[in-house]
């Protein structure tokens, strides 16, 4: 969030914070909606002022404040969030979004599978290619072998095969 440098916001987590909750459907739920969301409690993340400045809508420089939501990479569901910005004297708290427009904003997080590393992908490709092309090569070699041995037949049993069968 970008604020004017002279704006008297407080960093007290009780007055200035980002409230968020992660609502995750279970595998048994087909219709996951507001009736299930009510039971999920809200968490608070503090806003921290960053060193870099930002540009306000009027073109002047402002201070950037950021709140981080600690979620693991494997999270799936929806993040619902709302912010409260308090002043140093506590007289004028600002809420985001406005109470007139919505109670909270929502961000959907789709399923994200980990893809692994590039080295492991190359090793897996090499292993699969070796098995496929090696098996094909072995099969072709056995098919075009001119000695006439039967694959899978023990050597001491080969005298039972007539030369006419080969």
pLDDT at 34: 67
Q: Residues 72-128: pLDDT tens digits? A: 877 888 888 998 888 888 777 888 887 777 788 888 888 766 667 889 889 999 999
Between the alpha carbon of residue 62 and those of residues 49, 53, 131, 135, the distances in Å are 11, 6, 61, 66
For residue 130, pLDDT over 90 is answered with: yes
pLDDT at 145: 76
Q: Residues 80-96: pLDDT tens digits? A: 899 888 888 877 788 88
43-46 and 61-66 beta bridge pairing: unpaired
DSSP 9: B
Q: How far apart are CA 50 and CA 64, in angstroms?
A: 6
Element of type H or E holding 18: strand 17-23
pTM of the model: 0.58
């Amino acid at each position: 969030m970008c604020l004017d440098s002279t704006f008297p916001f407080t960093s007290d987590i009780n007055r200035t914070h980002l409230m968020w909750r992660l609502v995750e459907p279970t595998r048994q739920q087909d219709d996951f909606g507001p009736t299930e969301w009510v039971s999920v409690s809200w968490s608070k993340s503090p806003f921290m002022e960053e060193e870099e400045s930002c540009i306000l809508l009027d073109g002047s420089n402002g201070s950037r404040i950021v709140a981080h939501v600690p979620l693991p990479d494997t999270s799936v569901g929806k993040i619902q969030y709302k912010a409260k910005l308090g002043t140093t004297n506590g007289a004028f708290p600002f809420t985001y979004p406005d109470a007139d427009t919505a109670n909270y904003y929502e961000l959907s997080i789709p399923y994200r599978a980990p893809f692994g590393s590039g080295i492991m992908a190359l090793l897996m490709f090499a292993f699969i290619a070796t098995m496929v092309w090696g098996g094909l090569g072995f099969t072709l070699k056995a098919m075009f072998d001119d000695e006439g041995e039967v694959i899978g037949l023990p050597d001491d049993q080969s005298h039972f095969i007539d030369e006419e069968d080969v």
